[in-house]
């Protein structure tokens, strides 16, 4: 029986995948769970010795649940293509597999615009990625920022995953606009009523939280820019909520 399977979800990840797979060479099995990439992702994965499975993408929760069923391994370690597992993290994970916990949270070092970002909410950025397969599933109603439903105790790893996050401001804006739209739809479904004051108070609250409470100021201009950008998307979220509740 395979002890640990490292699983990477992919869609057109030929840029990031080679280094990601190299960082997972210590795993007993590597599965690239692909959404029918049209670039060289599949060929790169097979050349690296990974097992390639393909499934049409519906949402992240559905994809991860299907990936959990694709292996008989006792443990699954989910890694994104733009993430890297360090040798220190690999050694720590191997030591945890004999312990009774059902899952382990991994911290992440986020590199945003090429800079390691330690404040404004981007560290420790814990992700529940190391899972005892038979005790985990993903909540089907959380299609973005998926939620693990874990049957058992949890633990926290010390060594971080390396996350090569947003490379450019344009990429950041594009993805955060998507998240703002998703959050506005979620608030609408939950029956949250739009109030005009939210267009002022919520962005200000977001900036204060990021820049002061989470000490974004310690990252200097980089932290200020990120705090302002996140404030901008809080404004966008409530602007979209307003449009959903305004009669056409």
Other C-beta atoms closer than 10 Å to the C-beta of 170 total 9
> How does pLDDT run across 123-166, given as a tens digit for each residue?
999 999 999 999 999 998 877 778 999 999 999 999 999 999 99
Burial 54-73 (b: 16+ CB within 10 A, else e): eeeeeeebbbbbbbbeebeb
What is the rounded CA–CA span in Å between residue 115 and residue 224?
13
- Residue 12 pLDDT exceeds 80: yes
CA 177 to chain centre: 16
Q: What is the pTM of this model?
A: 0.91
Domains of the chain (ranges, CATH numbers):
4-164 (3.90.550.10), 169-245 (no CATH)
> How does pLDDT run across 71-106, given as a tens digit for each residue?
999 999 999 999 999 999 999 999 999 999 999 999
Q: State the distance between the two ends of the chain, measured CA to CA, in whole angstroms.
A: 59
């Amino acid at each position: 029986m395979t002890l640990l399977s490292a699983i990477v979800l992919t869609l057109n990840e030929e840029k990031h995948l080679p280094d990601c797979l190299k960082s997972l060479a210590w795993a007993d099995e590597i599965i690239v769970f692909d959404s029918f990439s049209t670039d060289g992702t599949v060929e790169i994965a097979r050349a690296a010795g990974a097992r390639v499975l393909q499934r049409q993408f519906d949402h992240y929760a559905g994809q991860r649940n299907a990936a959990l069923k694709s292996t008989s391994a006792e443990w699954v370690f989910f890694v994104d293509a733009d993430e890297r597992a360090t040798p220190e993290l690999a050694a720590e994970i191997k030591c945890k597999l004999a312990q009774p916990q059902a899952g382990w949270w991994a911290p992440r070092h986020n590199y945003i615009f090429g800079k390691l970002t330690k404040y404004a909410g981007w560290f420790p950025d814990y992700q529940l990625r190391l899972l005892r397969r038979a005790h985990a599933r993903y909540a089907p109603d959380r299609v973005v920022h998926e939620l693990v439903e874990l049957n058992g105790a949890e633990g926290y790893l010390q060594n971080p995953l390396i996350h090569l996050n947003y490379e450019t401001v344009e990429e950041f804006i594009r993805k955060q606009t998507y998240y703002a739209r998703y959050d506005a739809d979620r608030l609408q479904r939950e029956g949250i009523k739009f109030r005009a004051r939210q267009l002022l108070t919520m962005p200000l609250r977001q900036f204060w939280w990021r820049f002061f409470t989470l000490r974004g100021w310690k990252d200097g201009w980089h932290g200020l820019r990120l705090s302002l950008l996140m404030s901008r998307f809080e404004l966008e979220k409530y602007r979209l909520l307003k449009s959903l509740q305004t009669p056409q």
